[in-house]
Amino acid sequence: MTKTAAIIGGGVIGGGWAARFLLNGWDVRVFDPDPEAERKIGEVIANARVSLPGLSDTALPAEGALSFHETMSEAVHGAAWIQESVPERLELKRKVYQTLQEHCAEDAIIGSSTSGFKPSELQGCASRPEQIVVTHPFNPVYLMPLIEVVPTEKNPPEMVARVKEILTGVGMFPLHVRKEIDAHIADRFLEAVWREALWLVKDGIATTEEIDEAIRMGFGIRWAQMGLFDTYRVAGGEAGMKHFMAQFGPALEWPWTKLMDVPEFTEELVDLIAGQSDAQSGHMSIREMERIRDNNLVAMMRALKAQDFASGAVLNQHDAKLSAEAGMVRTAREIADPSQPIVTVRRAVPIDWLDYNGHMTESRYLHAFADATDRLMEIIGCDQAYIATGGSFFTAETHIRHIDETHLGSVIEVHTRVLMGEGKKMHVFHEMYAGEKLLATGEHILIHVSLETRRPAPFSEEIAANLKMICEAQAKLPAPEGAGRYVGQPR
């Protein structure tokens, strides 16, 4: 069933919302009076097409349809989700809501990207206040998982639950803000750091570049994976948070910061900060900086995926959902036609899989084939529960042929055949494709072992039966080209 989102107001945030929904399979209808809106949103979506698929270890769903509309009434037609991202003027937002509610479905969700207004302020003049909720994102919306969901008592619990379900469904992390407050939660931290940074620059203590280095070389990395309180809990050592508070609590009475004061916002201060910022990064265009930012975010969050921690855990949960929706086989019983090669991997090539030549590096072909072997093991019954009982497969021999190249963002599929599986041995053959193009083959011999003795051991009855079923069904296929080749053998 096609899902439709309406984006009211393009810009950086609205464009990010459009990309997030579009690349997760939603149709997206955009209204923005800016004559350059289609170009600007198109550029944001182009960046997202490169970076967002790289967060997932499974392919994103087929992209939805993108359309631009002359009126809000036209844009919201059939929309289940409406995201408002117009400028931060309360009277403008209220006027927009009046128009939206005249034309949208009564059960549509109207989310606001506002960072400054409380939901009760937005609901003030609305005909259906229960329909409006704050859903405050972070830039770039198509990569950053956090969404602050701020309802009021006028929003029914079932509506708030649906909001969180939809946001989770497009790979985001909805943080339910239980009490409305100016600037919600995260922006209050940002405001505190911003105020202190302005003082440090104004007083000549640090430049904009030095402040940025202090964050990205220090506490910014810790905060990215552990947040504030867990970071300080660890800093307290074995005695934990109480020890940390006892040790550093008295410092709260010292005049270390100027968080309650704001430096006078003069032209001189603006020129000072703007000049330092230009000297720091003026040699790059904004689009270049966006691409650098996106690549860095993808690389960091992919590292957290391997630990199944923080934003990485959110991405792993989204991958599992995408795999299930795409019908990726998880057990032998789910194989629709065992006589055909089994699709064991479907994913995009991420930024950290590239080499200095700009295509997928050698080791990542093995990575993809190893993932395919792991999926096959799961399918035949050698899953984590089985491995916990003491049985598994070890790879004894591998032969990879590199046939063609593939690049960033390309969707690759691995098709897997079982050439032999009996006794203690499994012989598999993988073919990697991008569309119809064969990229590589991987041939592997695996030995079933006892993890207790670390020696070869017979399969379980379930694994033996599943391997027999697949082998017999696939035996009718022609022998795969390249099977049994040795290194350097001419074709």
CB distance 241 to 232 below 8 Å: yes
The two beta strands, 81-84 and 411-422, are: unpaired
- The tokens describing 312, both together, are 């990485």
Cβ-contact 345, 375 below 8 angstroms: yes
Does 421 carry a binding-site annotation? Answer: no
138, 18 Cβ separation under 8 angstroms: no
Integer Cα distance of 134 and 147 in angstroms: 9
Contact 81, 166 (CB under 8 A): yes
Residue 10 is assigned to a ligand binding site = yes
> At 406, phi and psi to the nearest 5?
-140, 160
Q: Would you say 9 is a known binding-site residue? A: yes
Known binding residue 14? Answer is yes
Nearest to 26 by CA among 158, 166, 175, 146: 166
133 annotated to bind ligand: no
Closest CA to 415 of 437, 395, 396, 394: 437
Both tokens of 62, joined, read: 């087929």
Q: Which two tokens stand for residue 218?
A: 């220090």
Q: Binding site membership: which residues? A: 9-14
Q: Binding site membership for NAD(+): which residues? A: 9-14
